[in-house]
A and B are shown apart, each in its own frame.
Chain A
Amino acid sequence: MATLKEVRDRVMGSMGRTMYTHVAEGPINALSTCKDGSQVVLAGRNVFKIYGIEDEEFTERANLRVGRKLSLNFSCADVAWHQLDDNLLATAATNGAVITWNLSKSSRSKQDQVFTEHKRTVNKVCFHPTELHVLLSGSQDGTVKLFDLRKKESASTFHGRSESVRDVQFNPHRDYYFSFASTHENGNVLLWDLRRPDKAERFFTAHSGPVFCCDFHPDDKSWLATAGRDKAIKVWEVVPYKQIQEVHCVQTIASVGRIKWRPQRRYHIASCSLLVDFSINIWDIRRPYIPFAAFEEHRDVTTGITWRQDPHIFLSCSKDCTVYQHVFRDAKRPADHANPMGLCFNVKGDISFAASEALGGGGRAKGGSGMYASTRLPSFFRKNPDPTEQFRSVNSNLSVFTNRNRENPTAMDWFVKTAENYCLTGRPLSELCEHNARVARQLGRHQIVQTWLMLKLIFAGLGAVSDKGVVTSPSLGRIVSLSTTGGQGDLLDRVSQHNETSTVTDMQEAKSTEPPGITKEKDPSEPGDAEPKSALPQPPATDSAAHADLTHVHGDFFFGDGEGGGAYNDYDSLPNMDHIQDWTLPGEAFQPRHEIIDRNPSPEELDRPDSPTSINESETVSLSNEKLLKGTVLTPTPMNPSFLDVRLLAPLVVNMLHQYAEQGDVQMTVSVMIVLGDHLKDQVEEQIQEHWLMSYVDMLGCFKLWMVATEIVKLSYLIGVPSVGTLNQNSTSIHSNCNHCSKPLTQKGWLCTRSSTDTAGSGILDLYLMDCTRYCITVQMSEAGEHLFCMSPCSEGSVRVVPGLQPWRTHSSHPGVAPHQPAVSRRLRTLLPVHLISTAHRRLRPLLPVHLISTAHRRLRTQLPVHLISTAHRRLRTQLPVHLISTAHRRLRPLLPVHLISTAHRRLRPLLPVQHKY
């Protein structure tokens, strides 16, 4: 089939030849051929002629520009030859007239009708492809007019209220008999129905800048090509009731003046530009960077293209006063001269580079780590040459250059190191935070570092106080109990209350306008010492021992503050920590003399007379004065608690925890949770906490960090998640007697030698009744040491209750119930409630081969209700390191149903290194 076409094309092609004729009168603006393509009419400002197209040359047939008075009507912007009537022509005149010409007229002047309805230049005329009397014209004045040639006036006017019309085209397809398109100078394309002149059917913005032309695809009904000043040719898919979509885009080097689809070639389109580029390019729209063929005969801008019903011959006219017939045989093929090469790089900075073998493929360049030649591929990988394909295939070499300066993004070393080095308990909160921050800093995880420092800043004040064994409550800013004298306590109480009411910005202002007097007073104690530890206040040695103690406490605060102050600055660059940044602003504002803050107790700063929020100014003034004189009260109320109210901040911290968990760093979430302990009590739902803890323990299991996992499990008691805390206890039950014969187990293992024959080899040892009200749960222990369960309706009494045994584990509620099945096989696992399975699996995972895990997960996924599945998924995602997921999935692929694989793939794609995709 294809070869036949080729042969025919070759024969047809040989009939024409490249030829041209020069028109002396002047530049040609447009051309049009008659139906059989034997004649062509040329039109320009000073030209209006008909030429016959012979085999070897053009012959002048008629000059229509005749008459006594050569009016502006003869100055044509466009011309159209009717495709049904060989005697009918229409021209668009620059003065706004639309003129029809009847070649069959006997007189010398063939001018037939003149429509002078347009106010400005008519840019385009177009005959209906199948109607004899219907003519469209588009004008600068922004209107499209429809003429019935039997009438003296226009039949209707289409006012798109866009700008000047540059092109109008009837849709050539029968199904769209009434529709046409108009393109406008403001970049819009309007699709009209002939019967509805008031409003366009469809409308879309196609180009930035004027759209100069459009063309309906001759075969594909839905395709419309447009081109404009933005140097692009775009192909749009126009389907009724669907959004119009851009399906192809070709970028050219100059604004495009005319386009025409190539007949019988679905993907080929001819274009000529409005300036700079004088050649005519035929593009294959699938290859938008280099023209498929180019014709460079014209010496000036090409103004019109028309095909001669043959994909190999077309005519073009130009401002250089010539009309050419081009034959494909003589085309230039720019693609043949271009060296085929490809270059691409992946997220890790690897570069792959392919070049044809003729060029050496570039594989000899230094640093190439891999080189592949297409010729070495087995034959079934090679593409069969497609006869319809217009591209030639080239043997090429592919070189891959790996980027050596990179860190493996999928490595999980940081996880292991962090898990091992984090300190979660046993020391004061501030020290813990500090330690963990240091660990994170060593690993280069700066955001984590800042988080720890922030936490310390927020909670450490309180933490430090509580570590000193002083009575305190989680609500900061009320550490009144610390003050040693009653009177001052009162004052402080008031002060701290006041602090709570003041806002951060107010404080900031207050500080920045701090009167110099205070500074002076403070300076002598330790002038210019910025070292936090050494900046401990030097209290007047007049007070009690409690005072020294308090001073010490204050030192702790100060340290935290100083560190925090450093943290603020870093935090400025972290946009997602905005909420915390807000709180840190005061410290920043006060930084230039921050040693003063340290020695200055907060009440003074916050309640200075200048403070805009001062409620009781006189009182606070007196307070600060008094305090300054005494110099004793300064320590108990550290600055931090005064404005960092936990009740305000805790939700933010919880948000942060959620965010880390969402990002997959459940380690951070759990660590923070444990370190903060009581501070976050009741802030996070226990379920979520459990979820996080479980996930983290699982992950630790994956990396065989058993010790850490145990520690976490142990610590989970402390933060009030006992369900996790019991993990350590429930997997160690030891059975001493056989269920059936009640004889002591003598040999190793779970199988009773005497009753083994009765239990069908499955070694059922224990049967517990879990919940008698509705369901029974059978818990079995097989010889492999796994727990197998079955839930069965209790009605039949088929469940044996073995008295005298402790329940293995109690659960007050079960999320799901599975139908009853014989409680023998390991497949029971699929019937269990999720949390039980997941518990089992969690324990199994480090031990089982991957495919077993995956099997379990698959079963889970198909049987569980949606919200549970999603939970499971989320857990998987956060737990597994990327490379494990990918490994698992690769192994899974033969096992999984398609839709699951695709889900997995979508998730994996951004994560996987590129070679996995090959």
Chain B
Amino acid sequence: MASYDDDENFGSYGVVGSFPKDFGYGPDEQDTEDRSPSAESKPRILLMGLRRSGKSSIQKVVFHKMSPNETLFLESTNKIVKDDISNSSFVQFQIWDFPGQIDFFDPTFDSEMIFGGCGALIFVIDAQDDYMEALAKLHMTVSRAYKVNPNIKFEVFIHKVDGLSDDHKIETQRDIHQRANDDLADAGLEAIHLSFYLTSIYDHSIFEAFSKVVQKLIPQLPTLENLLNILISNSGIEKAFLFDVVSKIYIATDSSPVDMQSYELCCDMIDVVIDVSCIYGLKDGEGSCYDKESSSIIKLNNATILYLREVNRFLALVCILREDNFDRQGIIDYNFHCFRQAIQEVFEVRFKAQNLGANLQSSSGSLDAPAANGIAGSKPI
């Protein structure tokens, strides 16, 4: 990193490494925040798995910025812990951290309530342990949840793979995939689809896996991806991520392949920006360290530039582009302005639809929104 300069003042405050919990979704949506339609419109994710499989660690690392090494000292969770991160993030996470033995037949276990409004169920399997028990548990959990809510997405994190060799990783994934699907087929539940991810908290694979999970729950994803495609092809950008700032999950990116190094760079940039603005950007100890004015440029010594812009209270756009393409920063900024406008319209459509109570498919509605906006071609001709 050759140099970086924060060209904006961050007129707000916060605490390093943590976000104020009082973030709203945005000024427009403030009034809907407390109402159920809005709450349901955000993805809700359950985190389950056997005891000691790493659920709490994942939760701490992804949402609370805990350093992976510190998770060693986490106590094992003894009771069901519900962690609500819905107010600070674009994604409404309700993380149910279930201790190992959960009795589905326990009358106090309200499966309707737990699985009913849930978008995705993440099941964590410890790859370094014997996973037979975990597979049995997975099967039970999945079949139970499927009965309650057939629309739920089942994601399996094969976790703690940092200790495995590359071959072993694939072998483990293959084996788990095979066994889990065989179990489901035996039970006549072929309709259930499990997605598998190899994750570790010691690299960004856990963030990427979470990103994939969240993306599946965002109905506007094709539109967002399309908008990003348009933005990068018109601005000479190599790669653009739309980040959820708190969790550093990318909720959308353009269609070119995601490469881990770029993603890690962008994640680190968000950390840098937040930290620096917390130290230098706050006036009178008030406000937030991430606001409308937030933006940053970092020049790398390989003639590449990282460019961060605020999109809304939860989202940031981070781009990677070549230095010579950044000559026309004005154009890029203009394009970005259009992009931000379009994104806001996309979400407005959704909220309007919800507020009206109309059962409009939010994705189809949102497809029209950018077309009304200044960027041409966002709607297929």
Question: A interface vs B, CB < 8 Å?
Answer: 45-46, 69, 71-73, 75, 77, 94-97, 114, 116, 119-121, 123, 140-141, 161-163, 166, 186-187, 204-210, 212, 229-230, 232, 255, 257, 274-275
19 A-B residue pairs with CB within 8 Å: A75-B229, A77-B255, A96-B380, A97-B380, A120-B221, A120-B222, A120-B226, A121-B225, A121-B255, A163-B195, A166-B257, A205-B174, A205-B177, A206-B170, A208-B173, A209-B260, A212-B257, A255-B257, A255-B259
**Contact A116-B380, Cβ < 8 Å, known A72-B230, A77-B255, A163-B195:** yes
| Bound form: Cα–Cα A605–B77 in Å | 39
Task: Please name the residue on chain A nearest to B377 by beta carbon.
Answer: A72
Contact of B198 with A by CB under 8 A: yes
Q: Whole-angstrom distance from the CB of A333 to the nearest CB of chain B?
A: 28
B-side interface residues, number (CB < 8 Å): 31
Contact B222 A229 (CB under 8 A): no
Contact of B130 with A by CB under 8 A: no
Contact A95 B259 (CB under 8 A): no
In the complex, chain B residues whose CB is within 8 Å of the CB of A97: 380
Contact of B52 with A by CB under 8 A: no
Contact of B197 with A by CB under 8 A: yes
In the complex, chain A residues whose CB is within 8 Å of the CB of B212: 163
| Bound form: Cα–Cα A136–B164 in Å | 37
A-B contact count (CB 8 A): 85
**Contact A210-B257, Cβ < 8 Å, known A75-B229, A119-B222:** yes
Contact of B233 with A by CB under 8 A: yes
In the complex, chain B residues whose CB is within 8 Å of the CB of A121: 225-226, 229, 255
Contact of B2 with A by CB under 8 A: no
**Contact A208-B198, Cβ < 8 Å, known A77-B255, A274-B259:** yes
Contact of B7 with A by CB under 8 A: no
Q: Give the one of A119, A141, A162, A210 with max B CB within 10 A.
A: A119
Question: B interface vs A, CB < 8 Å?
Answer: 166, 169-170, 173-174, 177, 193, 195-198, 212, 221-222, 225-226, 229-230, 233, 255, 257-262, 376-378, 380-381
Q: Whole-angstrom distance from the CB of A229 to the nearest CB of chain B?
A: 7
Contact A71 B173 (CB under 8 A): no
In the complex, chain B residues whose CB is within 8 Å of the CB of A186: 195-197
In the complex, chain A residues whose CB is within 8 Å of the CB of B177: 205
Contact A205 B173 (CB under 8 A): yes
Q: Whole-angstrom distance from the CB of B291 to the nearest CB of chain A?
A: 32
- Determine the main DSSP class of B at the interface with A: helix
| Bound form: Cα–Cα A162–B193 in Å | 9
| Bound form: Cα–Cα A114–B380 in Å | 10
Task: Please name the residue on chain A nearest to B255 by beta carbon.
Answer: A121
In the complex, chain A residues whose CB is within 8 Å of the CB of B380: 72-73, 95-97, 116
In the complex, chain A residues whose CB is within 8 Å of the CB of B226: 72, 94-96, 120-121
In the complex, chain A residues whose CB is within 8 Å of the CB of B259: 229, 255, 274-275
| Bound form: Cα–Cα A796–B341 in Å | 113
6 A-B pairs with the lowest CB-CB distances in the bound complex, closest first: A121-B255, A72-B377, A45-B233, A94-B229, A119-B222, A71-B381
In the complex, chain B residues whose CB is within 8 Å of the CB of A140: 225, 255
In the complex, chain A residues whose CB is within 8 Å of the CB of B255: 77, 94, 120-121, 123, 140
Contact A120 B225 (CB under 8 A): yes
| Bound form: Cα–Cα A187–B169 in Å | 11
| Bound form: Cα–Cα A300–B170 in Å | 31
Q: Whole-angstrom distance from the CB of B154 to the nearest CB of chain A?
A: 11
Q: Whole-angstrom distance from the CB of A26 to the nearest CB of chain B?
A: 8
In the complex, chain B residues whose CB is within 8 Å of the CB of A45: 233
| Bound form: Cα–Cα A257–B256 in Å | 11
Q: Whole-angstrom distance from the CB of B194 to the nearest CB of chain A?
A: 9
Contact B261 A275 (CB under 8 A): yes
Q: Whole-angstrom distance from the CB of A839 to the nearest CB of chain B?
A: 48
Q: Whole-angstrom distance from the CB of B175 to the nearest CB of chain A?
A: 9
| Bound form: Cα–Cα A45–B226 in Å | 13
**Contact A71-B377, Cβ < 8 Å, known A120-B225, A187-B170:** yes
In the complex, chain A residues whose CB is within 8 Å of the CB of B170: 187, 205-208
Task: Please name the residue on chain B nearest to A92 by beta carbon.
Answer: B255
| Bound form: Cα–Cα A162–B221 in Å | 17
Contact B233 A46 (CB under 8 A): yes
In the complex, chain B residues whose CB is within 8 Å of the CB of A207: 170
| Bound form: Cα–Cα A885–B69 in Å | 52
| Bound form: Cα–Cα A206–B377 in Å | 37
Contact A95 B229 (CB under 8 A): yes
| Bound form: Cα–Cα A141–B223 in Å | 12
In the complex, chain A residues whose CB is within 8 Å of the CB of B193: 161
| Bound form: Cα–Cα A170–B193 in Å | 26
Contact B233 A96 (CB under 8 A): no
| Bound form: Cα–Cα A903–B243 in Å | 62
Q: Whole-angstrom distance from the CB of A97 to the nearest CB of chain B?
A: 6
In the complex, chain B residues whose CB is within 8 Å of the CB of A95: 226, 229, 377, 380
| Bound form: Cα–Cα A852–B299 in Å | 82
